[in-house]
Copies of this chain bind each other. A is one copy, B any other.
Amino acid sequence: MAALNEFDVIQTFFHRAAPEGYVGVGDDCALFSVRPGYQLAVSTDTLIEGQHFFSDVDPYDLGHKSLAVNLSDLCAMGAEPKGCVLALALPQVDPQWLQAFSSGLHALAAQSNCPLIGGDTTRHPYAVTITLTIFGEVPITQALRRDLARAGDDIWITGTLGAADLALRYLTQRLPMDAERLEQTRSALERPLPPYAFAPHLLGHAHAAIDISDGFLQDLSHILTASHCGAQVSWADLPMHPALRGVAPALQQAAVLAGGDVFELCFTAPPTERAYLLDLAAQHQIRLTRIGTVVPEPGLVVVDASGQALNLPAQGGFDHFSA
Protein backbone atom coordinates (compact mmCIF):
# COMPACT_ATOMS: atom_id res chain seq x y z
CA MET A 1 0.00 0.00 0.00
CA ALA A 2 1.42 3.36 -1.00
CA ALA A 3 2.19 5.78 1.80
CA LEU A 4 -0.82 7.87 2.73
CA ASN A 5 -0.37 11.60 3.03
CA GLU A 6 -2.19 13.93 5.39
CA PHE A 7 -5.09 14.54 3.02
CA ASP A 8 -5.51 10.82 2.30
CA VAL A 9 -5.64 10.09 6.02
CA ILE A 10 -8.42 12.61 6.55
CA GLN A 11 -10.32 11.51 3.44
CA THR A 12 -9.96 7.77 4.06
CA PHE A 13 -10.54 7.50 7.78
CA PHE A 14 -12.16 10.60 9.17
CA HIS A 15 -14.32 12.17 6.48
CA ARG A 16 -18.02 11.46 6.75
CA ALA A 17 -20.88 13.24 4.99
CA ALA A 18 -21.74 16.22 7.18
CA PRO A 19 -25.08 15.75 8.93
CA GLU A 20 -27.96 18.09 8.00
CA GLY A 21 -27.21 21.56 9.29
CA TYR A 22 -23.42 21.13 9.52
CA VAL A 23 -20.53 22.01 7.24
CA GLY A 24 -17.99 19.38 8.21
CA VAL A 25 -14.52 18.09 7.35
CA GLY A 26 -13.02 19.70 4.25
CA ASP A 27 -12.99 23.46 4.80
CA ASP A 28 -10.95 25.68 7.10
CA CYS A 29 -13.59 25.53 9.80
CA ALA A 30 -16.57 23.36 10.58
CA LEU A 31 -19.85 25.28 10.81
CA PHE A 32 -23.00 24.55 12.75
CA SER A 33 -25.86 26.38 14.42
CA VAL A 34 -26.90 26.40 18.06
CA ARG A 35 -30.63 26.13 18.76
CA PRO A 36 -32.37 29.31 19.93
CA GLY A 37 -32.52 29.44 23.72
CA TYR A 38 -29.44 27.22 24.05
CA GLN A 39 -25.82 28.04 24.65
CA LEU A 40 -22.71 26.18 23.74
CA ALA A 41 -20.73 24.00 26.15
CA VAL A 42 -17.14 23.27 25.12
CA SER A 43 -14.49 20.99 26.55
CA THR A 44 -11.12 19.63 25.40
CA ASP A 45 -9.04 16.66 26.58
CA THR A 46 -5.74 15.15 25.52
CA LEU A 47 -4.72 11.49 25.60
CA ILE A 48 -1.02 10.72 25.13
CA GLU A 49 0.57 7.36 24.34
CA GLY A 50 2.54 6.10 27.32
CA GLN A 51 0.87 8.65 29.57
CA HIS A 52 -2.86 8.02 29.26
CA PHE A 53 -2.87 4.77 27.30
CA PHE A 54 -0.58 1.87 26.46
CA SER A 55 0.99 1.67 23.00
CA ASP A 56 -0.66 -1.71 22.42
CA VAL A 57 -4.18 -0.72 23.49
CA ASP A 58 -6.88 -1.81 21.04
CA PRO A 59 -7.13 1.20 18.71
CA TYR A 60 -10.91 0.74 18.39
CA ASP A 61 -11.22 1.19 22.15
CA LEU A 62 -8.87 4.16 22.03
CA GLY A 63 -11.04 5.87 19.42
CA HIS A 64 -14.06 5.20 21.60
CA LYS A 65 -12.33 6.51 24.73
CA SER A 66 -11.06 9.67 23.02
CA LEU A 67 -14.66 10.75 22.58
CA ALA A 68 -15.95 9.20 25.82
CA VAL A 69 -13.70 11.27 28.10
CA ASN A 70 -15.06 14.42 26.46
CA LEU A 71 -18.69 13.26 26.51
CA SER A 72 -18.13 12.88 30.23
CA ASP A 73 -17.42 16.62 30.53
CA LEU A 74 -20.65 17.43 28.68
CA CYS A 75 -22.52 15.17 31.12
CA ALA A 76 -21.13 17.18 34.00
CA MET A 77 -22.85 20.29 32.62
CA GLY A 78 -26.03 18.47 31.57
CA ALA A 79 -25.29 19.42 27.95
CA GLU A 80 -26.48 17.43 24.93
CA PRO A 81 -23.74 16.32 22.49
CA LYS A 82 -23.59 18.39 19.30
CA GLY A 83 -20.29 17.56 17.59
CA CYS A 84 -16.54 17.25 17.99
CA VAL A 85 -13.21 18.01 16.30
CA LEU A 86 -10.11 15.84 16.51
CA ALA A 87 -6.44 16.85 16.52
CA LEU A 88 -4.45 13.69 15.91
CA ALA A 89 -0.63 13.57 15.93
CA LEU A 90 0.97 10.29 14.87
CA PRO A 91 4.56 9.00 14.70
CA GLN A 92 3.61 7.02 11.60
CA VAL A 93 0.66 6.33 9.36
CA ASP A 94 -0.58 2.79 10.02
CA PRO A 95 -3.74 2.23 7.95
CA GLN A 96 -4.90 -0.73 10.04
CA TRP A 97 -4.52 1.22 13.27
CA LEU A 98 -6.25 4.26 11.76
CA GLN A 99 -9.11 2.12 10.45
CA ALA A 100 -9.79 0.68 13.91
CA PHE A 101 -9.26 3.98 15.75
CA SER A 102 -11.59 5.92 13.48
CA SER A 103 -14.21 3.14 13.61
CA GLY A 104 -14.27 3.25 17.40
CA LEU A 105 -14.58 7.02 17.34
CA HIS A 106 -17.25 7.13 14.65
CA ALA A 107 -19.29 4.38 16.35
CA LEU A 108 -19.58 6.27 19.63
CA ALA A 109 -20.10 9.53 17.69
CA ALA A 110 -23.08 7.98 15.89
CA GLN A 111 -24.47 6.45 19.07
CA SER A 112 -24.27 9.74 20.98
CA ASN A 113 -25.30 12.06 18.11
CA CYS A 114 -21.92 13.77 18.30
CA PRO A 115 -20.51 13.79 14.74
CA LEU A 116 -16.83 14.38 14.04
CA ILE A 117 -16.98 17.60 12.01
CA GLY A 118 -13.36 18.70 11.71
CA GLY A 119 -9.81 18.28 12.81
CA ASP A 120 -6.11 18.38 12.19
CA THR A 121 -3.73 15.51 11.49
CA THR A 122 0.00 15.90 11.81
CA ARG A 123 3.15 13.91 12.47
CA HIS A 124 4.32 13.59 16.05
CA PRO A 125 7.99 12.67 16.41
CA TYR A 126 7.45 10.50 19.49
CA ALA A 127 3.99 9.62 20.72
CA VAL A 128 0.43 9.28 19.48
CA THR A 129 -1.21 12.39 20.87
CA ILE A 130 -4.96 12.80 20.64
CA THR A 131 -6.80 16.01 21.50
CA LEU A 132 -10.53 15.96 21.04
CA THR A 133 -12.66 19.06 21.57
CA ILE A 134 -16.37 18.56 22.09
CA PHE A 135 -19.38 20.85 21.72
CA GLY A 136 -22.72 20.46 23.42
CA GLU A 137 -25.92 22.44 23.74
CA VAL A 138 -27.52 23.40 27.02
CA PRO A 139 -30.46 25.75 27.72
CA ILE A 140 -29.15 29.23 28.56
CA THR A 141 -28.43 29.64 32.32
CA GLN A 142 -29.55 26.04 33.02
CA ALA A 143 -26.19 24.24 32.91
CA LEU A 144 -25.16 22.14 35.87
CA ARG A 145 -22.12 23.65 37.54
CA ARG A 146 -19.70 22.85 40.32
CA ASP A 147 -20.64 25.79 42.51
CA LEU A 148 -24.37 25.25 43.07
CA ALA A 149 -24.47 22.49 45.71
CA ARG A 150 -26.52 23.39 48.81
CA ALA A 151 -26.49 22.01 52.35
CA GLY A 152 -29.12 19.31 52.62
CA ASP A 153 -28.64 18.09 49.04
CA ASP A 154 -28.33 14.38 48.45
CA ILE A 155 -25.13 13.28 46.71
CA TRP A 156 -25.56 10.78 43.87
CA ILE A 157 -23.26 8.93 41.54
CA THR A 158 -23.90 6.95 38.38
CA GLY A 159 -22.31 3.58 37.64
CA THR A 160 -19.74 1.99 39.92
CA LEU A 161 -16.33 2.94 41.32
CA GLY A 162 -12.94 1.24 41.42
CA ALA A 163 -12.88 -0.99 38.33
CA ALA A 164 -10.74 1.22 36.04
CA ASP A 165 -8.20 1.73 38.80
CA LEU A 166 -7.97 -1.99 39.53
CA ALA A 167 -7.46 -2.80 35.83
CA LEU A 168 -4.73 -0.18 35.60
CA ARG A 169 -2.93 -1.66 38.60
CA TYR A 170 -2.83 -5.09 36.93
CA LEU A 171 -1.71 -3.68 33.60
CA THR A 172 1.10 -1.66 35.19
CA GLN A 173 2.23 -4.57 37.38
CA ARG A 174 1.51 -2.66 40.57
CA LEU A 175 -0.57 -5.68 41.54
CA PRO A 176 0.20 -9.34 40.85
CA MET A 177 -1.79 -10.35 37.79
CA ASP A 178 -5.28 -11.72 38.41
CA ALA A 179 -6.51 -12.60 34.94
CA GLU A 180 -10.11 -13.04 36.00
CA ARG A 181 -10.35 -9.70 37.79
CA LEU A 182 -8.56 -7.94 34.91
CA GLU A 183 -11.08 -9.46 32.52
CA GLN A 184 -13.93 -8.11 34.67
CA THR A 185 -12.54 -4.58 34.99
CA ARG A 186 -10.68 -3.88 31.77
CA SER A 187 -13.63 -2.52 29.80
CA ALA A 188 -14.24 0.08 32.53
CA LEU A 189 -10.72 1.40 31.85
CA GLU A 190 -10.63 1.06 28.09
CA ARG A 191 -14.21 1.60 27.02
CA PRO A 192 -15.96 3.87 29.52
CA LEU A 193 -19.47 5.00 28.62
CA PRO A 194 -20.54 8.22 30.34
CA PRO A 195 -24.30 8.72 30.87
CA TYR A 196 -24.67 11.22 28.00
CA ALA A 197 -28.37 10.57 27.37
CA PHE A 198 -29.29 10.64 31.06
CA ALA A 199 -27.38 13.78 32.11
CA PRO A 200 -29.38 16.46 30.18
CA HIS A 201 -32.52 15.36 32.06
CA LEU A 202 -30.90 16.47 35.32
CA LEU A 203 -31.36 20.15 34.40
CA GLY A 204 -33.84 21.78 36.73
CA HIS A 205 -33.56 18.83 39.14
CA ALA A 206 -29.89 18.56 40.16
CA HIS A 207 -27.92 21.45 41.65
CA ALA A 208 -24.19 20.78 41.14
CA ALA A 209 -22.38 18.15 39.09
CA ILE A 210 -18.91 16.99 38.07
CA ASP A 211 -17.60 13.99 36.20
CA ILE A 212 -15.33 11.60 38.09
CA SER A 213 -12.11 11.65 36.11
CA ASP A 214 -9.34 12.29 38.65
CA GLY A 215 -10.82 10.29 41.54
CA PHE A 216 -14.09 10.38 43.49
CA LEU A 217 -12.76 12.20 46.58
CA GLN A 218 -10.87 14.79 44.58
CA ASP A 219 -13.72 15.46 42.17
CA LEU A 220 -16.38 15.70 44.88
CA SER A 221 -14.03 18.07 46.71
CA HIS A 222 -14.09 20.37 43.67
CA ILE A 223 -17.88 20.67 44.05
CA LEU A 224 -17.60 21.28 47.79
CA THR A 225 -14.88 23.91 47.47
CA ALA A 226 -16.69 25.74 44.68
CA SER A 227 -19.99 25.58 46.60
CA HIS A 228 -18.47 26.52 50.00
CA CYS A 229 -19.86 23.51 51.82
CA GLY A 230 -18.89 20.03 52.98
CA ALA A 231 -20.19 16.48 52.70
CA GLN A 232 -20.75 13.32 54.66
CA VAL A 233 -20.49 10.18 52.55
CA SER A 234 -21.26 6.60 53.59
CA TRP A 235 -18.57 4.09 52.63
CA ALA A 236 -21.12 1.27 52.67
CA ASP A 237 -23.31 3.10 50.17
CA LEU A 238 -20.54 3.72 47.63
CA PRO A 239 -21.24 1.52 44.57
CA MET A 240 -18.03 -0.51 44.50
CA HIS A 241 -17.54 -2.51 41.30
CA PRO A 242 -18.23 -6.22 42.05
CA ALA A 243 -14.75 -7.26 40.90
CA LEU A 244 -13.36 -5.47 43.99
CA ARG A 245 -15.11 -7.87 46.37
CA GLY A 246 -12.51 -9.93 48.18
CA VAL A 247 -9.50 -7.70 47.51
CA ALA A 248 -7.68 -6.18 50.47
CA PRO A 249 -9.71 -3.44 52.22
CA ALA A 250 -6.92 -0.85 51.77
CA LEU A 251 -6.88 -1.51 48.04
CA GLN A 252 -10.67 -1.29 47.86
CA GLN A 253 -10.52 2.10 49.55
CA ALA A 254 -7.77 3.40 47.32
CA ALA A 255 -9.47 2.22 44.13
CA VAL A 256 -12.96 3.42 45.05
CA LEU A 257 -12.07 6.73 46.69
CA ALA A 258 -9.06 7.85 44.66
CA GLY A 259 -9.08 5.83 41.44
CA GLY A 260 -9.24 7.93 38.27
CA ASP A 261 -10.56 7.31 34.75
CA VAL A 262 -14.08 6.58 36.00
CA PHE A 263 -16.08 8.90 33.70
CA GLU A 264 -19.25 8.57 35.72
CA LEU A 265 -21.24 11.49 37.09
CA CYS A 266 -21.33 12.80 40.67
CA PHE A 267 -24.12 15.31 41.37
CA THR A 268 -26.16 16.83 44.15
CA ALA A 269 -29.91 17.34 44.26
CA PRO A 270 -32.53 18.19 46.89
CA PRO A 271 -34.22 15.20 48.58
CA THR A 272 -37.52 16.18 46.92
CA GLU A 273 -36.04 14.94 43.63
CA ARG A 274 -35.40 11.35 44.75
CA ALA A 275 -38.37 9.77 43.00
CA TYR A 276 -37.75 11.70 39.77
CA LEU A 277 -34.09 10.73 39.73
CA LEU A 278 -34.60 7.04 40.40
CA ASP A 279 -37.29 6.92 37.76
CA LEU A 280 -35.07 8.72 35.25
CA ALA A 281 -32.19 6.33 35.95
CA ALA A 282 -34.46 3.34 35.44
CA GLN A 283 -35.67 4.73 32.10
CA HIS A 284 -32.05 5.11 30.93
CA GLN A 285 -30.88 1.83 32.47
CA ILE A 286 -28.34 3.79 34.49
CA ARG A 287 -27.20 2.55 37.89
CA LEU A 288 -27.74 5.50 40.24
CA THR A 289 -26.75 5.48 43.91
CA ARG A 290 -27.35 7.95 46.72
CA ILE A 291 -24.13 8.02 48.71
CA GLY A 292 -24.32 10.92 51.16
CA THR A 293 -25.40 14.42 52.04
CA VAL A 294 -24.09 17.94 51.56
CA VAL A 295 -23.47 19.68 54.92
CA PRO A 296 -22.86 23.36 55.69
CA GLU A 297 -19.42 22.87 57.32
CA PRO A 298 -16.46 22.56 54.95
CA GLY A 299 -14.75 19.17 54.80
CA LEU A 300 -15.40 15.79 53.27
CA VAL A 301 -15.99 12.92 55.69
CA VAL A 302 -16.46 9.28 54.68
CA VAL A 303 -18.01 7.23 57.49
CA ASP A 304 -18.05 3.45 57.91
CA ALA A 305 -21.11 1.37 58.85
CA SER A 306 -20.67 2.28 62.53
CA GLY A 307 -20.55 6.01 61.77
CA GLN A 308 -16.77 6.28 62.33
CA ALA A 309 -14.89 8.59 59.97
CA LEU A 310 -12.44 6.73 57.74
CA ASN A 311 -8.82 7.81 57.82
CA LEU A 312 -8.55 9.12 54.30
CA PRO A 313 -5.32 9.10 52.32
CA ALA A 314 -3.79 12.60 52.31
CA GLN A 315 -3.25 12.34 48.55
CA GLY A 316 -6.45 11.40 46.81
CA GLY A 317 -6.71 11.51 43.06
CA PHE A 318 -4.59 12.21 40.11
CA ASP A 319 -2.32 15.15 39.38
CA HIS A 320 -1.16 15.09 35.78
CA PHE A 321 2.19 16.68 36.62
CA SER A 322 3.12 14.39 39.54
CA ALA A 323 5.97 12.00 38.84
**Which A residues contact B (CB, under 8 angstroms)?**
3-7, 9, 23, 26-34, 36, 39-46, 48, 50-52, 73-74, 76-77, 79, 83, 85-87, 89-90, 93, 117-127, 129, 131, 133, 135-136, 138, 140, 143, 145-147, 209-211, 226, 319-322
The reply to whether B321 and A6 form a contact with Cβ atoms under 8 Å apart is yes
**Please, which residues of chain B bring their CB within 8 A of the CB of A51?**
122-125
The reply to whether A48 and B135 form a contact with Cβ atoms under 8 Å apart is no
9 contacts between A and B (CB under 8 A): A27-B77, A28-B146, A28-B211, A29-B43, A34-B39, A42-B118, A46-B87, A48-B129, A125-B126
Which of A26, A85, A122, A127 has the most B CB atoms < 10 Å from its CB?
A122
Which of A29, A36, A140 has the most B CB atoms < 10 Å from its CB?
A29
**Please, which residues of chain B bring their CB within 8 A of the CB of A34?**
33-34, 39-40
**Please, which residues of chain B bring their CB within 8 A of the CB of A9?**
321
The reply to whether B50 and A40 form a contact with Cβ atoms under 8 Å apart is no
Which of A31, A125, A210 has the most B CB atoms < 10 Å from its CB?
A31
**Please, which residues of chain B bring their CB within 8 A of the CB of A52?**
122
- Please report the C-alpha to C-alpha distance between residue A135 and residue B32 in the assembled complex, in whole angstroms: 11
The reply to whether B6 and A29 form a contact with Cβ atoms under 8 Å apart is no
Q: Which residue of B lies closest to A45 (CB)?
A: B120
The reply to whether B43 and A28 form a contact with Cβ atoms under 8 Å apart is yes
- Please report the C-alpha to C-alpha distance between residue A4 and residue B319 in the assembled complex, in whole angstroms: 10
- Please report the C-alpha to C-alpha distance between residue A211 and residue B85 in the assembled complex, in whole angstroms: 19
**Please, which residues of chain B bring their CB within 8 A of the CB of A32?**
39-40, 42
**Please, which residues of chain B bring their CB within 8 A of the CB of A40?**
31-34, 40, 135
**Distance in Å from the Cβ of A39 to the closest Cβ of chain B?**
4
Instruction: From known contacts A123-B51, A129-B124, infer whether A322 and B85 are also in contact, taking CB-CB under 8 Å.
Output: no
Which of A26, A44, A74, A87 has the most B CB atoms < 10 Å from its CB?
A44
Which of A3, A7, A321, A322 has the most B CB atoms < 10 Å from its CB?
A321
The reply to whether A133 and B85 form a contact with Cβ atoms under 8 Å apart is yes
- Please report the C-alpha to C-alpha distance between residue A117 and residue B41 in the assembled complex, in whole angstroms: 11
Contact of A131 among B6, B46, B210 (CB under 8 A): B46
Contact of A122 among B4, B74, B120, B320 (CB under 8 A): B320
**Please, which residues of chain B bring their CB within 8 A of the CB of A320?**
6, 121-123
Contact of A127 among B90, B118, B125 (CB under 8 A): B125
The reply to whether B48 and A39 form a contact with Cβ atoms under 8 Å apart is no
- Please report the C-alpha to C-alpha distance between residue A1 and residue B262 in the assembled complex, in whole angstroms: 33
Q: Which residue of B lies closest to A77 (CB)?
A: B29
**Distance in Å from the Cβ of A29 to the closest Cβ of chain B?**
4
